[in-house]
């Protein structure tokens, strides 16, 4: 699997570079063009989940001790797993669905459409399952009834949000502001952490850029898991957020995706790394705030995916009515979340399926080269 993943990453990066160089001035504009902030907020909250909030404090000790990560510091490793170059996956698919898919309509081919919908539904339910599985580590002492009830509520809220695309946009913008407030709250709650100390801590992220080549291919099995996760989400997220691109040139879209989402990530990870480095305990109120914001991120991720697969399969509110739409999707999604407990399902399987879908799309595009002249508009 490592070889397949490595080849896919290299092909993706080379394709992205070709697109930026060849079609740098093509205007990218979606069906529902939005402001840059709204677009990035939807991208950021749809493409990330609660792991962004909760994982770093538990991962820093691992990155400090395991041999595979000793070429740089734990903050640079954490940033490399979540920020920077990996957002190039989303650039490629966002560009494709904004500029190329409207011309070639490859995702309307029945076989491609079926595989795409399987990926979306499977990943949507698996995201809910991961939230269910990790809740005891997020909320110490949570009972099973509370855990299953909270996941049911999250799934229900996500489905309700998916009934109107405007709800998704509003929730994404609101949760982005909540995340920024969370960063400020946790920062001000850290003893001795001022702007000079934050800047000094953030300087450790430079270890990512000086070792950028080390992050392109899998560093370890755990890094490979992250990269498969990025791949498994890439087509879905690009397919969903492309509709909100507001008229950016290709090079601007690429630059925005590689840099803007990484700024709050860098701030958040740096604040948490300060806690780790100085052996500080996160206050209970801040832990509750972290879980709350993380839960909202899960809702954001799920509502985007639900909206995507229901649109693809014409399971719409207009067709079935709001009550049937909500209850039907809830039964399917929550049922799949529960069923995952009895399967050996792994996100790497979805990643491999998506890589296979990439390969099919590449081959089909080669047959339609005449329709794909990347001439600047």
CATH code of the domain covering residue 166: 1.10.4160
Q: Is the full-model pTM beyond 0.95?
A: no
Separation of alpha carbons 9 and 358, rounded Å: 11
State how far the Cα of 257 lies from the Cα of 98, in Å rounded to an integer: 14
Residue 94 lies in a domain: yes
Predicted pLDDT of residue 140: 81
Question: What string of pLDDT tens digits covers the 377 residues of the chain?
Answer: 789 999 999 999 999 999 999 988 999 999 889 899 899 888 888 877 778 888 898 899 999 999 999 999 999 999 999 999 999 999 999 999 999 999 899 999 999 999 999 888 888 888 888 888 888 888 888 899 999 999 999 999 999 999 988 888 888 889 999 999 999 999 988 888 888 999 999 999 999 999 999 999 999 999 998 999 888 889 888 998 999 999 999 999 999 999 999 999 999 999 999 999 999 988 888 888 988 998 998 898 899 889 989 998 989 899 999 999 999 999 999 998 988 888 777 778 888 888 999 999 998 888 776 556 655 54
Tell me the C-alpha distance between 246 and 26, whole Å: 13
Only one residue has tokens 């407030």, namely 181
Residue 218 belongs to a domain: yes
Q: Closest Cα to residue 43, out of 233, 209, 215?
A: 233
CA proximity to 336, closest of 151, 145, 160, 139: 151
Distance (Å, whole) CA 75 – CA 143: 33
Count up the domains in the chain and report the number.
1
Whole domain around residue 35: which residue ranges? 2-370
* Separation between Cα atoms, residue 340 and residue 57, nearest integer Å: 27
- Helices (DSSP H) in 23-73: which residue ranges? 36-46, 50-65
368 backbone dihedrals φ, ψ, rounded to 5°: -120, 35
Cite the beta strand spans of the chain per DSSP E: 27-29, 246-249
Which one-letter DSSP state was computed for residue 85? G
Helix 262-277 crosses helix 50-65 at what angle (to 10 degrees)?
50
Secondary-structure percent of the chain, ordered helix, strand, coil, rounded to 5? 80, 0, 20
Residue 376 lies in a domain: no
What pLDDT is attached to residue 373? 60
Which tokens in the block code for residue 377?
A: 């508009």
Say if residues 34 and 165 touch (Cβ distance below 8 Å): no
DSSP designation for 339:
H
The count of other CB atoms within 10 Å of the CB of residue 140 is 7
Q: What is the dihedral of CA 229, 235, 241, 245, to 10 degrees?
A: 120
Predicted confidence at residue 374, as pLDDT, reads 54
Token pair 């990943």 is found at: 123
Answer yes or no: is 377 within a domain: no
| pLDDT the model gives residue 125 | 86
Give every CB contact of residue 149 below 8 A, 6+ residues apart in sequence: none
Q: Which two tokens stand for residue 29?
A: 């504009």
Contacts of 315 (CB under 8 A, 6+ apart): 309, 325, 328, 329
Closest CA to 350 of 313, 305, 316, 311: 305
In a domain? residue 314? yes
């Amino acid at each position: 699997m490592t070889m397949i993943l490595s080849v896919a990453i290299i092909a993706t990066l080379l394709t992205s570079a070709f697109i930026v160089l060849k079609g740098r001035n093509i205007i990218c504009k979606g069906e529902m063009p939005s402001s840059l902030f709204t677009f990035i907020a939807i991208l950021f909250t749809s493409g990330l989940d609660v792991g962004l909030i909760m994982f770093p404090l538990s991962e820093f000790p691992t990155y400090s001790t395991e041999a595979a990560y000793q070429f740089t510091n734990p903050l640079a490793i954490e940033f490399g797993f979540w920020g920077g170059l990996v957002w190039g996956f989303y650039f490629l698919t966002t560009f494709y669905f904004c500029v190329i898919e409207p011309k070639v309509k490859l995702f309307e081919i029945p076989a491609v459409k079926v595989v795409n919908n399987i990926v979306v539904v499977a990943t949507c339910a698996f995201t809910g399952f991961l939230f269910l599985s990790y809740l005891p580590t997020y909320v110490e002492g949570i009972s099973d009834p509370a855990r299953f009830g909270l996941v049911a509520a999250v799934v229900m809220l996500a489905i309700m949000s998916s009934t109107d695309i405007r709800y998704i946009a509003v929730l994404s913008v609101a949760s982005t502001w909540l995340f920024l407030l969370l960063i400020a709250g946790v920062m001000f709650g850290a003893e001795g952490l001022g702007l000079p100390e934050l800047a000094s801590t953030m300087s450790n992220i430079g270890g990512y850029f000086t070792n950028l080549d080390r992050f392109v291919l899998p560093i370890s099995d755990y890094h490979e898991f992250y990269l498969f996760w990025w791949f498994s989400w890439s087509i879905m997220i690009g397919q969903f957020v492309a509709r909100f691109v507001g008229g950016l040139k290709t090079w601007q879209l690429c630059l925005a995706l590689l840099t803007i989402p990484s700024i709050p990530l860098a701030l958040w990870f740096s604040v948490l790394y300060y806690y780790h480095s100085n052996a500080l305990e996160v206050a209970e109120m801040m832990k509750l705030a972290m879980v709350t914001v993380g839960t909202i991120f899960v809702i954001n991720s799920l509502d985007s995916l639900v909206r995507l697969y229901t649109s693809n399969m014409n399971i719409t509110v207009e067709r079935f009515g709001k009550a049937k739409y909500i209850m039907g999707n809830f039964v399917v999604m929550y049922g799949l979340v529960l069923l995952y407990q009895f399967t050996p399902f792994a996100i790497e399987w979805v990643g491999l399926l998506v890589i296979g879908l990439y390969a099919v799309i590449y081959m089909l595009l080669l047959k339609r080269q005449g329709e794909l002249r990347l001439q600047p508009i």
